[in-house]
Structure 1
Amino acid sequence: MSITITPDGTRLFYKDWGPKDAQTVMFHHGWPLSADDWDSQMLYFLSRGYRVIAHDRRGHGRSDQTDAGNEMDTYAADVAAIVNTLNLHDVVHVGHSTGGGEVARYAARAERGRVAKVVLIGAVPPVMVKSDKNPDGIPLEVFDGFRDALARNRAQFYRDIPSGPFYGFNREKAEVSQGLVDNWWRQGMAGGAKAHYDCIKAFSETDFTDDLVAINVPVLFLHGEDDQIVPIRNSAYKAIHLVSDGTLKTYPGLSHGFFATHPEVVSADLLAFARA
């Protein structure tokens, strides 16, 4: 397995496929999943001559099940560790959900020349949780419910999310893919409960406003209009106004996990942006 060891000794698993001198696309997964969530997009870009990279965030997948550092500053530093190890430049970074927050924080702080473009898919920025500064956000009690469900019966909770709101399979006439549900559960259960518990705070309470403002490369926002996990009105509709060079594309009727349910649509849009 390909492993990077971070300054605090955490071992991070990553995949690195394709020509080492080709344009690189790096994928960042959502909570509580792993690099495997990007298999379709990685194969798509690989077949078109790109170098593709995806890692398991600390505490997720095949990376160490850390009990510390499960917050956005460390996630971004971990990305930098992989980028530095592989000596990557001019990378297109693609992040979904929590991974979108990770990308925003990393891109805002990255060394000059490391980042070419950014794609945020169903991403959590600018901030999810309701507060005095964000009065139309999601109440903290919702995320407390996530933590309680994870602590009580993580295995069942990780069945309920993908079979319901994540892919929109709870909608009338939805075409349910049991394979997607099972794969979500498989990825989730491979990670560590403590890291996943801590990550709920990271994705829900981190404010990425300053990060979005600081990003100085083109940013593409892709978002399902029926996203029940990261509602578009609380995220992309706000975030697009904070970046200096942003484009927003929305998908009527599609869910939070729409890049998995409709890979042929999303991959084509990603390729067009990467080539532009």
Structure 2
Amino acid sequence: MGERLETTRREFVAGAAAIAAVTALPIPALAGAASHAGEKTMATIKTADGTEIFYKDWGPKTATPIVFHHGWPLSADDWDSQMMYFLMQGYRVIAHDRRGHGRSTQTDTGNEMDTYAADVAALTDHLDLKGAIHVGHSTGGGEVAHYVARAKPGRVSKMVLIGAVPPVMVKSEKNPGGLPIEVFDGIRAGVLANRAQLYIDFPTGPFYGFNRPGAKISQGIIDNWYRQGMMGGIKAHYDCIKAFSETDFTEDLKKITVPSLVMHGDDDQVVPYADSGPLSAKLLKNATLKTYKGFPHGMATTHADVINPDLLAFIKG
């Protein structure tokens, strides 16, 4: 016992000495050591207005790129299931944090679809993507439609919308089947009053359909939604509610000619099915609508075992 205590003391002293030696190094020396080791903690691009956009870019650079666009108020991490699945299938997988979300700059301006699409264009230019497949969920689906309708020739080969907000969410004379503006005013009020609580209530309830009788609830999924939401900035999240609910993507959809897949659950409580998926598919020139009976808004997470193979079949087809 005495020998073991002495050994532990020696190990502790040696460890403390090592820590002291490192902390005594000047900051430039530490930075140089990290640089020498080739460490890079985050991949980002800087847009024209100085916003830093975080992104992940995994897999062979010569492989077909799949770009994933997340929903409100989440981050690229919401695509974990898809990123790993398609990486293992040999694809190049890319996902970014929209401005104001996740690890990107917490912007107070530019939180609308024109700038979101411009940020995507800047990223695809930076990575020089050719023939990419763009996959968007919810707000990300609106971002995809807005970008693809404006993309440079050759940049995009296919498009996928999953539980996406197009053509337009808010109710109006042109869109009588939409949701009343009061619904979105309520979300705005929740963000201002207690964003943290809203980001618990939303995934616990309608987002994943966990409020349905017999639903298999995952606390881990709920906590991960909350974690991602609270990483972003409140101003950007507040502004984005207008962007995803009031932007009319009708003309964008009409312009898009690449093969498109529209995937939507008929029990989507966030972006109701009847006023979204079927209407988008009709406006697109080359689209297939795939309806999932009883699936919720966040079906790419709760039903990844179904969604991923369907995505793969479309990409390969």
TM-score range, shorter chain: over 0.9
Q: 1:86 aligns with which of 127, 134, 144?
A: 127
Amino acid at match of 1:56: D
1:206 corresponds to: 247
1:66 Cα shift?
0.2
1:237 Cα shift?
1.4
Alpha-carbon distance in 1 for matches of 2:248, 2:173: 13
2:202 corresponds to: 161
Amino acid at match of 2:272: P
SS at match of 2:81: helix
Structure-2-length-normalised TM-score: 0.87
1:136 Cα shift?
1.5
SS at match of 1:102: helix
2:52 corresponds to: 11
2:168 corresponds to: 127
2:21 corresponds to: none
2:237 corresponds to: 196
1:216 corresponds to: 257
Amino acid at match of 2:49: D
CA shift digits 1:3-37 (9 cap, x unpaired)? 01001110000000000000000000000000000
Q: Is residue 64 of structure 1 aligned with residue 105 of structure 2?
A: yes
Q: Which has the higher helix share?
A: 2
2:85 corresponds to: 44
CA shift digits 1:217-242 (9 cap, x unpaired)? 01100001100000010101111110
Runs of 4+ in 1 over 4 A off after TM superposition: none
2:139 corresponds to: 98
Q: Is residue 138 of structure 1 aligned with residue 179 of structure 2?
A: yes
Aligned residues: 276
SS at match of 1:165: helix
Identity score, percent: 67
SS at match of 2:178: coil
In terms of Rg, which structure is larger?
2
SS at match of 1:100: helix
SS at match of 1:65: coil
1:149 corresponds to: 190
SS at match of 1:81: helix
1:132 Cα shift?
1.2
1:216 Cα shift?
1.3
Alpha-carbon distance in 1 for matches of 2:116, 2:130: 19
SS at match of 1:163: helix
Alpha-carbon distance in 1 for matches of 2:266, 2:158: 23
Amino acid at match of 2:52: R
Amino acid at match of 2:108: D
Alpha-carbon distance in 2 for matches of 1:239, 1:22: 29
Gaps of 5+ in 2: 1-41
Alpha-carbon distance in 2 for matches of 1:212, 1:72: 14
Alpha-carbon distance in 1 for matches of 2:184, 2:216: 28
1:135 Cα shift?
1.3
1:260 corresponds to: 301
SS at match of 2:94: strand
